[in-house]
Amino acid sequence: MKRYLDKINPLVLFRDAKIFNRVHSPGEFASILHRERDRADRTGQEFSMAVFEVGNGSRKTHAARNLVPILTHRIRSTDAIGWLADGRIGAVLPHTRPERAWKFVANIRKAGVEPGCVKQLFLTHCHYDHTGGAAALRQQTGAVIVAHELDAEYLEAGDSRVTAASWYGAWIEPLRVDVKVAGSEQRFTVGKLEVTFRHAPGHSPGSAVLYLESDGKRVLFGQDVHGPLHDELRSVRADYVKSLEFLLSLEADILCEGHFGVVIGKQKVRDFIESYL
């Protein structure tokens, strides 16, 4: 389905054009390789080629979209990257010994071919300090952005006041939200885990928390439990209190709070939430 959408979405095509414009075609790349081989023979200076598997051989897979921006960022001006005839991506590294080439590959992997594993980006609410990097993350990972519809509205409108961007002396670009949760609850599958995305308004109209069970423990991503509440943020105290009461009812073992880090232990989690009631 996603691949089908990629084919028809002009934005994706535009993004692809930008991502892939430094990747040589198989024909061009073959002649670059040929030239490098000749030069190495003539000068005795070796070169290396790193080859990256990027999926099923059909061009511009998800893996390729993740890999190429990292590669283009890392290569030197004398290096070249291109498609191999079998659909893999190669990087020619002139004057590079194999140890250096391995290091190059290790760095690429460390820099994040793995981001392709990130499938969903859950926004707990619209505030700038929680959403400012979302567009870049989506671009790097291909993840879909999920938010409650009541906060998605401010993100998509690029509202710098309600998103609190103006509090940071900044402004936000309109951000497309791929999945808008309506109503009070929606379940998502993340790897092997079931995650509940639950509307918990108060701090903002579309504030939400996420919770899941892992190794017999209930983990709660409680967003900005601490508030603050402010008219400009469209905060509503009565909703906030109700939401905190709901958080207490979850009896979570671990609370990941928006600003205060991780609180571990049922009692400590309870104490933390109650301190704001």
Site residues (vs Zn ion, CB under 5 A): 127, 129, 224, 258
Strands of 261-264's sheet, edge to edge?
Answer: 185-190, 193-199, 208-214, 217-223, 254-257, 261-264
Q: Toward Zn ion, which CB reaches closer, 112 or 227? A: 227
Q: Toward Zn ion, which CB reaches closer, 110 or 237? A: 237
Q: Which residue is nearest to Zn ion (CB)?
A: 127
Q: Minimum distance from CB of 248 to Zn ion (Å)?
A: 20
- DSSP secondary-structure letter at 100? H
Q: Toward Zn ion, which CB reaches closer, 96 or 163? A: 163
Residue 206 has which token pair?
A: 């579309």
Q: How far is it, in rounded angstroms, from Cα 96 to Cα 104?
A: 10
Q: Minimum distance from CB of 128 to Zn ion (Å)?
A: 8
Q: How far is it, in rounded angstroms, from Cα 154 to Cα 119?
A: 23
Residue 230 has which token pair?
A: 């402010």
Q: Minimum distance from CB of 211 to Zn ion (Å)?
A: 18
Q: Minimum distance from CB of 144 to Zn ion (Å)?
A: 22
Q: Toward Zn ion, which CB reaches closer, 53 or 129? A: 129
The half-sphere exposure of 135 on its side-chain side, counting CA atoms within 13 A, is: 12
Residue listed under structure tokens 């979570």: 252
Strands 208-214 and 217-223: antiparallel
Q: How far is it, in rounded angstroms, from Cα 219 to Cα 141?
A: 24
Q: Toward Zn ion, which CB reaches closer, 127 or 199? A: 127
Q: Minimum distance from CB of 118 to Zn ion (Å)?
A: 21
